[in-house]
Structure 1
């Protein structure tokens, strides 16, 4: 039995007069309703004089004011709780620096990376690694680099990888990272979603830097804003970009094995359910949260919720799979409790989800027969802009791409829907 009743909601607006985008959400690892939120303006050179640099930790049982204010020296684009120590958070800054906080020590960062050895562009991903010390993390930026850090010594990174898929290690050839994925059960592997629509798979333990670029997947017409491995079957992963969400198998590099139909509104983020292998979530520029269950309904979301009138930009599901947080362009964070039907494992769901994936990798999905003419008409300008070189316009391209996307009309129905 499936219920589609309206979930209960809790909202927390950006306390500042000049609103910033809620760019990243991170749940407290102990399962309570505490949420760390990074706030920044991603509009290039739009950080006006009175715009706050503050980010916040919210206790959404009491959303009248933040529980703690974090005060970085540059606005945070990404922010992550340390899964081993809930007092510690790592943040990636707009100016490329990495900072970390110990909430027992107050609102200022304990340490910040030096500008000289930091990223040159905003840090769109900062993720903790599984290590004995619990002090190691890595970061990715549109400057085309992945950097590894030990927060006990942030003076310089412990390791560097240039995202040059020609494997020459040249920064001028590097693709800009816009999303970052790491699955703890696969500790030597990670994935990067790029501005250019390419997904890069990497192996940190390869012998030489060129060999660390393991492979690529192509299928999006613009930046890959979200990248998420299925927690039940990590060889399957979800990407979100342009007008579609796509499901891929590591075994099929030629094409995604399933994808949603083209939406009229640009997609901005996405993630898998933590409790149901066939369910995933996406957010859109029109302020809508879509919940998909590809075993129940293939052509449309199982549930579509209008969260706000401005674009949604960030999304994070709590580990229990029953509470989802959404962050908007104007800085409002909304929490929704999901109906039990969408966060309770269904009978035979694991077996059926595996079968769907197997059919896709065997070439039985209609995705493999997609005509070349199925690209949306408005994708071409995005592709040209993506390939127009790396110089300082990188950040303005991303902001411009999202601004332009609001007026784009996707070619709904031209691509096969999410089905096998």
Structure 2
């Protein structure tokens, strides 16, 4: 008997189908090793996404960009008949009269005028957001103020020397003259007298080294020649320089005819020859010089405030600041060590006429006096802890001033292009930028330049640059934001008129006090008393105090009367209730 057994097995249990090919390839199945699970971190839960649809790329559909073209039309007078000469006024007038008398003239004009009026109205309509000037960037409404340091010019001598003066060359300000001098005689241990002229593009080496026989306190470029300079020396003498002839002075004044103290200010003045300048010193003298004959001064003026008609150098007040405006001519200004500012005129016949106008500007020495470049009647004074703006029409008080600073001020200057902006340097190494049209109680920009005191500042004639010098012998070239200001005239005029009103009121109060004093004197003479009359002439501060006391007493009397009236009303009400 045949025993037959059929063995059956599913195809899925046979393993992978053998696919024989010409490649030498072996496929194996490696099972997972559970011992390796300790080398991994289990993530639970695990999120996995899958996408089984077709992926399409995203597209944007937009219409074609409209192209605009700017074109103009040149209109000329035309339409004249051939027999009419359009350049002959008589013929054109005769032809116009002939057309205007035509019967169809009015009808034709009534048909053409609506179309012309429509075109004119379209031309008058304007888009306030349209940019007309495509070659320039629009100025933002709120302009950001900033500054950055472009170059630093350091003294090549290892020992630090203070910088006392800066001067830009007249050839677009490509060079900067810097004078180094230590005016503190107790601490003066440096024996080098050199000063430098720097090229602003090369801060590594000076362009010219000036070698005087004593230190230079102040130095100024000639406004007409970029090779000529004048300087005031520590010995009180003045010297003229020509950098084409070398590093030594061309000529020096004689010491007998020079200042008795160090010459701290020199300035060029207007003259036909362009060779005249004047100098000032702390000995209280102003001297006018000519570089062609610099041995002796042409003229001298002693600032004697006690006896202005006589020149007594023993009573002279030291000069700490000097100013000259070329557009005014013979007028000059000087700041004194007692806080006074003198507005003088060189053409005065007597010394009293030359220094007739006086301003009580500061409580300490006047460090800087600067006229506004545009509004020359207004000038800036810097001293002690405040800067003040004055008008020549108001002598008793300034028209604007800054709040008191915590640090002493060391200098100040107006901006040469932004006429409402001025700069102040301070003893803590900070430079403040003030804009009167933006705010008057705080600077719009305050920059920390260095750790030591700043000594002077000189803005560039183009306005965006300014040279700032420090006591550490380093000069910093700064660039400021291009923020222009306007309508300064209205502000200065408003403040000037306000101060005039105050001065007129004070004069009226003084006249009233004077009349009262005269009446008291007359009554005392008519009486039987033999007492000596003592007249008291109050000054401005006393008048203000008296006025305040009177107003205070009047307010007290009004308040007492009001309280008395309230008490009477309460008493009457109580009687009515009872």
> What RMSD, in angstroms, separates the aligned Cα atoms of the two structures?
1.7
2:470 and 2:160 mapped to 1: Cα distance? 10
Distance in 2, Cα, partners of 1:44 & 1:372? 40
Q: Which moved more, 1:9-18 or 1:305-314?
A: 9-18
Q: After superposition, give the CA deviation of every residue in 1:229-270 in whole Å (9 maximum; x if it has no partner).
A: 011111100000000111011111111111111111000110
> What residue in structure 1 maps to residue 311 of structure 2?
169
CA contact (8 A) 2:361 2:381 kept: no
* Equivalent-residue separation in structure 2 for 1:51 and 1:155 (angstroms): 26
**Mapping of residues 344-355 of structure 1, within 5 Å:** 344-346=484-486, 348-355=487-494
Q: How does 1:265-344 map to 2 (within 5 A)?
A: 265-341=407-483, 344=484
1:384 alignment partner in structure 2: none
- Which is bigger in relative contact order (C-alpha 8 A, separation at least 6)? 1
Residue matched to 1:70? 210
Separation in 1 of the partners of 2:212 and 2:461? 27
Q: 1:24 aligns to what?
A: 165
Alignment partner for residue 14 of structure 1, among 139, 142, 155? Answer: 155
| Number of residues of Structure 1 aligned to a counterpart in Structure 2 | 363
**What's the CA shift string for 1:270-305, capped at 9, x where partnerless?**
011111221111100000111100110111101111
Residues 146 and 445 in structure 2, CA contact (< 8 A), matched pair in contact too:
no
Q: State the distance in 1 between where 2:353 and 2:185 align.
A: 34
Match of 2:174 among 2, 26, 33: 33
Q: Which has the higher strand share?
A: 1
8 Å contact from structure 1 (residues 324, 337) kept in 2: yes
- How far, CA to CA, are the matches of 1:372 and 1:312 in structure 2? 35
| Contact map agreement 2:173 2:460 (CA 8 A) in 1 | no
**Structure 1, residues 64-107: CA drift from partner, whole Å, max 9, x if none?**
01100011111111100000111100000111010010011110
Structure 2 unaligned spans of 5+: 1-141, 504-539, 543-578
Aligned equivalent of 2:257, options 102, 117, 121: 117
Match of 2:26 in 1: none
How does the TM-score come out when normalised to structure 1? 0.83
Is 1:204 aligned to 2:346, yes or no? Answer: yes
Alpha-carbon distance in structure 1 between the residues aligned to 2:154 and 2:441: 34
Q: Corresponding residue for 1:137? A: 277
Larger radius of gyration: 2
Q: Within 2, Cα distance between the matches of 1:36 and 1:241?
A: 25
| Equivalent residue for 1:181, pick from 304, 323, 343 | 323
How is 1:81-92 mapped onto 2 (pairs within 5 angstroms)?
81-92=221-232
Tell me, what secondary structure is at the counterpart of 1:7?
strand
Partner of 2:183: 42
User: How far off is 1:362 after superposition?
Assistant: 4.1
- Structure 2 CA distance for aligned equivalents of residues 259 and 174 of structure 1: 29
2-side partners of 1:188 and 1:32: how far apart?
26
Contact 1:121 1:141 in 2 (8 A): yes
